[in-house]
Structure 1
Amino acid sequence: MNKLQLSVAMGDYDRTRALYDGRVLIDGVDSIFMLLNPEEMFFRAMRSMDFDIAELSFSSYLVKHAKGECPYIAVPIFLSRAFRHTSIYVRKDRIAKPEDLKGRRIGVPEYQLTANVWARSILQDDFGVRPEHVTWVRGGIDTPGRPEKIKLKLPPEVHVEAAPDGTTISELLDRGEIDGFIGPRPPSASVLKNPHIGWLFDDPTAVAKDYYRRTGIFPIMHVVGIRKELAQQHPWLPGAVVKAFTQSKAAALALLGDTSATKVTLPFVEEQLKAARETMGEDYWSYGVAPARKTLEAFVRHHHAQGLSERLVGVEELFHPSTYESYSI
């Protein structure tokens, strides 16, 4: 049987590197890999369906999947996970605590971004700041005029306005024309030099660890999607993709744990790895539905409550049916 020649778009992570360099292969596939940043990858996947297999924004996927309009079917490979307490920046000269955000103006690059869904869920669940308590100002972080990738129909009580023409939300934050900023990337580097701008949480790591201990949630940002027609034509493909990405992650973790010469250009890696496992368990960056169920349930609930998915999608509907169970030896 000839192998399928498929394009695969993904980020350049330690957990994908074994795929890119050929140490791990997707069974039955001759892969053409493209290492792209999230903004380009997600825009091209959702606007023009440029890839056969692609890393996808979990939120963008769910917006379209809930309507039956997504060209991809996801598999439970979570290439990006992050506690989004570090995604919330504020004017420290006027915001002292999360509750102070009520009645304020917060900049976002796109309302529906996964990082923003998680950040809003934290503000609502832990501090009582609901989406309708805030005016959301949408614009580019570094470039004016960034559009939403996907057309949204938000609840009438949620107010979103565009940043002024020719202006970025970083500039608005720097000038004090908005009170906060939420996004998967920080504001522009020049803006962070402003002494009045900083994280909402002075010690976001401590707050995130407390959040995990209370909730058991390690937020999922990105999933992997396969073009639906390919998954229908080749029923073995979703399982092969899950297998390969899982093997690639295992290879990355094996290298991360080899401290004879650290594989990451960062001190204290051994200590951080030990701390992560003590807090979150050995399989702290799990793939698959079962270990992530609590996180998945929280996300679909908040996504729907925030008006982004038109119906509450069950966890059993999120992924290709063949990927909910796996063999064992």
Structure 2
Amino acid sequence: MSKLPLSVAVGPYDRMRPLVDGDVQIEGVDPTFMLQEPEEIFFRAFRHADYDICELSLSSYCVKTAAGTSQYVAVPVFPSRAFRHTSVYVNTNAGINKPEDLKGKRIGVPEYQLTANVWVRLFLEEEYGVKPSDVTWVRGGYEDPARVEKITLNLPADVKLEHAPEGKTISGMLEAGEIDALIGPRAPSCFDRGAPNVKYLFDNPQAVAADWYRRTKLFPIMHTLGIRRTLVEQHPWLPMSVTKAFEKSKAVALARLSDTSATKVTLPFIEDQLRAARKLMGEDFWSYGFAANEHAMNRFLKRHHEEGLSSRLLDAKELFHPASLENFGI
């Protein structure tokens, strides 16, 4: 029987390399991999459903699933996870010395509904009492003024969302003091090039995030993996084949990362960072699968609905194909 030729769009992560290089196979599939940045994948997936299998923004996928309009169904594979305490940048002239000082300020976002921004607003409110209605949100592209919000939103009436002025970027506005802070999954270029008046909100975001994890056991999920719904209907074996392959690819990548006789990552002290992550979060610190992540998913879905992003409160199991929620045993 010939294999199913499918397009697969994912980021160029170490946990994907065994699949991309052919060291791990997806049973029954002849894949064509496209390694792209998340912004391109999400735009093409949610606007045009360009791919057979692809990374999906968790937030955008939840918006579509709640509305019953998603052309993809996910499996519990999470290609991107990140603590987002490094995602808040402030202008040093704005009088922001602690998170509570964000109240009353103007905060730029590349898109309001981005997954990273949902997680940031969650901890800003729960830890520091800063509600979405306490600030004015300014939506605009990091570096491209033409960037659009790819998902239609229906926000609560008390949330103030403006568009950046025509021709302006939120990176440029932050540096110029036209907004007071910026929240998003990428660092703005003004921060990367060392603008003297732009810094992290948290002086030591890693320490703050580690403390938050100890208390909440939340390692934020950013992206999940979607399969075109029509394909799953035609080939019911596909969700489990995809789930198994991505699990195996991640396991191979972690085994390679653990071999520090010659480090696989272009970063010194990687072995110490790996040891610290396992001490803080356990051996399977980047877990796939439903059961290990139900807690984080439920917290995210509750917040997502409270913010008016998902039209109804989703059950975490609704997000994933039923065949991918369980596995066989021997």
SS of residue matched to 1:129: coil
Deviates more, 1:272-281 or 1:92-101: 92-101
TM-score normalised by structure 2 residue count: 0.98
1:4-19 equivalences in 2 (<5 Å): 4-19=4-19
Once the two structures are aligned, what percentage of the paired residues are identical?
61
For residue 135 of structure 1, what is the aligned residue in structure 2?
136
For residue 303 of structure 1, what is the aligned residue in structure 2?
304
Per-residue CA distance 1:51-89 (angstroms, 9 max, x = gap)? 000101000100000111000001100000000000000
Residue 257 of structure 1 aligns with an amino acid whose one-letter code is S
Whether the aligned pair in 1 keeps the contact of 2:172 and 2:190 (CA below 8 Å) is no
For residue 193 of structure 1, what is the aligned residue in structure 2?
194
How far residue 315 of structure 1 moved from its aligned partner, in angstroms, is 1.1
How far residue 145 of structure 1 moved from its aligned partner, in angstroms, is 2.4
Per-residue CA distance 1:216-239 (angstroms, 9 max, x = gap)? 000000000000011111110000
Distance between the aligned counterparts of 1:63 and 1:266, measured in 2? 37
For residue 43 of structure 1, what is the aligned residue in structure 2?
43
For residue 23 of structure 1, what is the aligned residue in structure 2?
23
Per-residue CA distance 1:239-278 (angstroms, 9 max, x = gap)? 0000000000001000000010000000010000000000
For residue 73 of structure 1, what is the aligned residue in structure 2?
73
Unmatched 5+ stretches in structure 1: none
| Number of residue pairs aligned between Structure 1 and Structure 2 | 329
CA-based RMSD: 0.9
Matched, 1:88 2:62: no
Unmatched 5+ stretches in structure 2: none
Distance between the aligned counterparts of 1:36 and 1:196, measured in 2? 32
SS of residue matched to 1:194: coil
Distance between the aligned counterparts of 2:311 and 2:154, measured in 1? 9
SS of residue matched to 2:15: helix
How far residue 328 of structure 1 moved from its aligned partner, in angstroms, is 2.4
Whether the aligned pair in 2 keeps the contact of 1:11 and 1:36 (CA below 8 Å) is yes
Distance between the aligned counterparts of 1:179 and 1:95, measured in 2? 8
Whether the aligned pair in 1 keeps the contact of 2:108 and 2:138 (CA below 8 Å) is yes
Whether the aligned pair in 1 keeps the contact of 2:190 and 2:198 (CA below 8 Å) is no
Whether the aligned pair in 1 keeps the contact of 2:191 and 2:199 (CA below 8 Å) is no
1:1-329 equivalences in 2 (<5 Å): 1-93=1-93, 94-189=95-190, 192-329=193-330
Regions of 4+ moved over 2 Å: 189-194
Residue 45 of structure 2 aligns with an amino acid whose one-letter code is A
Residue 65 of structure 2 aligns with an amino acid whose one-letter code is H
SS of residue matched to 1:96: coil
How far residue 146 of structure 1 moved from its aligned partner, in angstroms, is 1.1
How far residue 192 of structure 1 moved from its aligned partner, in angstroms, is 4.8
Distance between the aligned counterparts of 2:19 and 2:281, measured in 1? 26
Distance between the aligned counterparts of 1:190 and 1:327, measured in 2? 48
Distance between the aligned counterparts of 1:189 and 1:17, measured in 2? 31
Per-residue CA distance 1:284-317 (angstroms, 9 max, x = gap)? 0000011111110111011111110000001121
SS of residue matched to 1:193: coil
SS of residue matched to 1:142: coil
Distance between the aligned counterparts of 2:261 and 2:44, measured in 1? 41
Residue 217 of structure 1 aligns with an amino acid whose one-letter code is L
SS of residue matched to 2:189: coil
Distance between the aligned counterparts of 2:241 and 2:105, measured in 1? 47
Residue 15 of structure 2 aligns with an amino acid whose one-letter code is R
How far residue 191 of structure 1 moved from its aligned partner, in angstroms, is 6.9
SS of residue matched to 2:16: helix
Distance between the aligned counterparts of 1:97 and 1:68, measured in 2? 40
